[in-house]
Structures are given as C-alpha cells and as structure tokens.
Amino acid sequence: MTVKEAFLESIRSLREVSEEYYLETLVLLSYILKIEKEKVYLKENEVLSDHQIKLFKSSLEKLRNKYPLAYLTRHKEFMGLDFYIDEGVLIPRPETETLAELAIKYGCKKQRFLDIGCGSGVIVLSILHYCKEITGNAIDISENAIRITKLNAERLNLLERLELALTDFRNYNPGYKFDFIVSNPPYVRSIDVRNLPFEPEIALDGGVDGFEIYPALIKKAFELLKDDGFVIFEIDPSIQDKVKKEMKKYFRKVDIIKDLAQLDRFAFGRLKTVNKTVLIKDIKYEE
C-alpha cells in the first residue's frame, strides 16, 4: 500500500463519519509517517511498511468509531503551539483560542494571572508563551490535568513561570490576588455529555442546563482578583443571560463576547473598587 492509496482509503472511510475527513486524513498520515502534515503529499508514492499499514488500519477503524483524533495522535495544535493530549483531559476546541487571545490582549502587561480548571494547560501556557514577562498560576481538581499541564509546560520551557496546584477552586487560597483570571469550566448539559463518551465527564458536565458551576466560580473569581482585575469565562451561548446576571452581582462592567462563529461564547467582567468584606450578594453593578 502506498501513501496515496492510504490517503484515498482514509478519505472514503472518514467521509461517512466526519465533516473534517480531509484534514483528519492528513493528520492521520502525518502521524503514521512521523512527518509534518504539509509534507504528506511529497510521500504519495512511498510504500508503507507492514507496521505502518497495521497502524493505519487500526487507527482508521478507531476514527470510524468516532474515537477522537487528538487522543489517537496524542497531539493537538492550539494558538500555533503543539500540545500533548490524552484521555485524561478535555480536547481543546478552536473557539477557546479566542479566550486566550482576549487574555493576551488585555492582560499581557499585567503581573500574575490564574487559570481555573487548566485541563491540558493550553490556555495558561499560551498566555505565558506570548506574554513573556507575566507569571501564571493554574489549578485543577484532576490529577491527570495537573500532570499533563506540567508535561506541556516542560515541553514549552514555561515551567519556571508557572505555579500548579491540585485543588478544588472553592478551597484555593494562595494568599495573594491576581490581575486577571481565565476559566473554561464544565458547561455541557448533563444530557448531552453522553454524546462525548471518550472525554472526561468531570471536564464537561455542567449540570441540567450547563450553569451549575458558575455561581461559585464567579464568586471565587471576585474574591481572588485585585480591585482593578478582570475575568474571562467561556460559556455556552444558551446560558449567557444567566451568567451575565450572576456576574453583575460582583462586577462593575460585564460584557458577553462572541466567538468566530458569532455565538455568545465568553463572559468578561471587570471589578469595581469596593470593600469586598461588605458585599451584598444581590447588588447589581451597572456601568
């Protein structure tokens, strides 16, 4: 079997199960050949070894059964960087890049930030990579997440500017405040989690409507921010009104920002300078 024959077989097979069959075929063959996907075409007449054919067939069967490509290759590109990924963490989505871009735009000249629920570390490490002077903290309740974030930090030479903690955010008290906070928390409706069987439920399940974690998360972010700090949460568009209402209890300025698909995907909040010890929960700060 030549590379070209494998390419055509993959196209035919994946066309039935994936809208991105062409890109997935390129990534699959780059994984098999151990080369960059842009160079696959240069190898079209190369004959695959018996081992490569066996790996190709077994991998293609997994993809036909909707096993995630990122888990198969153990890699996922995010913000132009290559990250190690496995079944212990959520696969980063393209829309989350906008969250990282917003943080870089507004926070790059700050000193210290926090990523709550860091997963594979794509958000915190992307910010650290593009903001050379900033320091980051990252926390997660999952041992796998902390392990993989640390591994990716080592691969990207960013470990010296990163402080990791295995903890529930509700119990996190580092003893100092942050300039800004980012988080991509679980916001998939419980009923829809079954449609993502290979990814960790703890990183997905947001309760009945996806809003379950936000009240505690918003309150904790308020407590951990400096008086002029800001926060960016990723959200599901269906809960944007509820998230905005909850954030207005704590934040002076609250905006909902759209992703590239023009969906209401991010909630941005900036603090008003207040005495945090006398906060009345039902106060809504308006611009």
Q: 3-state SS of the chain?
A: CEHHHHHHHHHHHHCCCCCCHHHHHHHHHHHHHCCCHHHHHHHCCCECCHHHHHHHHHHHHHHHCCCCHHHHHCEEEECCEEEECCCCCCCCCCCHHHHHHHHHHHHCCCCEEEEECCCCCHHHHHHHHHCCCCEEEEEECCHHHHHHHHHHHHHCCCHHHEEEEECCHHHCCCCCCEEEEEECCCCECHHHHCCCCCCCHHHCECCCCCCCCHHHHHHHHHHHEEEEEEEEEECCHHHHHHHHHHHCCCEEEEEEEECCCCCEEEEEEEECCCCHHHCCCCCCCCC
The stretch 190-211 carries a mean pLDDT of 93
Give me the pLDDT at residue 272, please: 66
- Residues 70-103: b if buried by 16+ CB within 10 A, e if exposed: bbbeebbebbeeebbbeebbbbbeebbbbbbebb
User: Does the pLDDT of residue 275 top 90, yes or no?
Assistant: no
Element (H, E) at 77: strand 75-78
- Return the CATH number of 76-278, one of 3.10.129.10, 3.40.50.2300, 3.40.50.150, 3.40.1440.10: 3.40.50.150
Spatial separation of the C-alpha atoms in residues 76 and 91, rounded to whole Å: 8
Q: Which helix or strand (DSSP H or E) is residue 99 part of?
A: helix 96-107
User: Quick one: average pLDDT of 161-169?
Assistant: 98
Among 161-165, 176-180, 200-204, 229-233, whose mean pLDDT is lowest? 200-204
Span 79-96, average pLDDT: 95
Q: Is CATH 1.10.20 the right assignment for the domain spanning 3-67?
A: no
Return the structure tokens found at 282.
Answer: 């039902």
The token duo for 212 is 């379950």
- Cα–Cα distance for residue pair 280/283, rounded to 1 Å: 6
The residue assigned the tokens 């199960």 is 17
Is residue 176 very low, low, confident or very high in pLDDT (cuts 50, 70, 90)? very high
Of 8-12, 19-23, 202-206, 271-275, give the lowest mean pLDDT range: 271-275
Arithmetic mean of pLDDT, 182-200? 94
pLDDT at residue 79 in the model: 96
Q: Quickly tell me which residue has 């695959």 as its tokens.
A: 48
Q: How many CB atoms lie within 10 A of CB 236?
A: 18
Per cent of the chain over pLDDT 70 is: 94
Average pLDDT, the chain: 92
Q: How far apart are CA 74 and CA 106, in angstroms?
A: 31
Assign 208 to helix, strand or coil: coil
What are the structure tokens assigned to 229, written together? 């700090």
Q: What pLDDT score was predicted for residue 96?
A: 96
Q: What is the largest CA-CA distance in the chain?
A: 72
Q: Provide the whole-model pTM.
A: 0.89
Bin 102: left if φ > 0, else alpha if -120 < ψ < 50, else beta. Answer: alpha
Listed by start position, the domains of the chain span 3-67, 76-278
User: Buried b vs exposed e over 36-53: b needs ≥16 C-beta within 10 Å?
Assistant: ebeebeebeeeebeeebe
